[in-house]
Amino acid sequence: MDTMRKIGDLEVSVAGLGCNNFGMRIDEDATKQVVDAAIDNGINFFDTADLYGGTKSEEFLGRALGKRRDDVLVATKFGMLKPPEDSELTGGHPDWVARAADDSLRRLGTDRIDLYWLHAPDADTPIGDTLEALNRLIDAGKVREIGCSNFSAAQLDEAAAAASERGVRSFAAVQNDYSLMQRDPEAEVLPACARLGIAFVPYFPLASGLLTGKYQKGQPPPEGTRLAQWGAPSDDKLEVVEHLDAFATDHGHTITELALSWLAGRPEVASIIAGATKPEQVRANAAATAAWDLTDDERAEVDAILG
């Protein structure tokens, strides 16, 4: 299985690192350990956002990279962090796009953002206006590629049409929730990616830890886990996870190797941004992404388990 893929002109590692834990679940020292482990294990794609960790994620990531900044690709997002209360701007408004980018560049301590995501659709701003603002950032050398997150297939088509009409670049990638436990993108978004030539980046690839084997039926979620805060998964979901775990074990793999390799086997997927709070998680996720080149028959067996 290949270890590098393309998002526009960017060559990203299939194993990426989601940085939403930085500044929220781990401090700056722990962040540096995770970033060091990622680089040591061949990860070159780091995905953060302006609102993660109350803006601390960008700051921690920038300082952790330090002089290695040119060796990696940094993606960040705008549009969910609200503009100042005295502002009438919305997340995708051109004026806010420019301000948000400058704020992220300052926090990251860099002169460019390799991939700049619109974090969510903005119903109050025409997508063409947002795209024009993003293209001005590209022209200024502040951004290399642009993407969107939480977009439907219809919204991807709308963006592509607006870009064509206005003569600007459209999104090179879309980032949505996708995993063995969340397969909604397969119906419309992944076909749209194939049709439009857009890369797909799954977030929550391990279903917020559900696909790591740490949750068991009849047992409360371990302390400090996401699902301990968000609520225990249903027994129905845990039963599916048990079947997936047994399938992976029967084939000589872990459930995490199944979850990440299964995603990597999708041709539309560019980079899988699994989060981590410890270096050993980074090492395990990086290895798991390329651990299993599932056959068509094996994928069909997985489909049968998922129902």
User: How many residues in total does the chain contain?
Assistant: 307
Q: What is the 3-state secondary structure (H, E, C) of 166-204?
A: HCCCCCCEEEEECECCECHHHCCHHHHHHHHCCEEEEEC
How far is the CA of 51 from the CAs of 6, 21, 77, 175, 263, in angstroms?
26, 11, 8, 16, 26
Strand order in the sheet with 199-203: 199-203, 173-177, 143-149, 113-118, 73-78, 45-47, 15-18, 272-275
CA distance 88 to 72: 36
Tell me which amino acid residue 105 is. Answer: L
CA distance 154 to 253: 37
Spell out the residues 6+ positions from residue 254 whose beta carbon is closer than 8 angstroms to its own: 213, 248, 288
CA distance 215 to 144: 40
Contact call for residues 172 and 145 (beta carbons, < 8 A): yes
Contact call for residues 192 and 156 (beta carbons, < 8 A): yes
Contact call for residues 157 and 195 (beta carbons, < 8 A): no
Q: Which of 52, 116, 178, 215 is catalytic?
A: 52
How far is the CA of 269 from the CAs of 59, 177, 251, 260, in angstroms?
28, 12, 23, 11
Annotated active-site residue 203? The verdict is no
Which of 126, 139, 205 lies closest to 166, judged by CA?
A: 126
Catalytic residues: 52
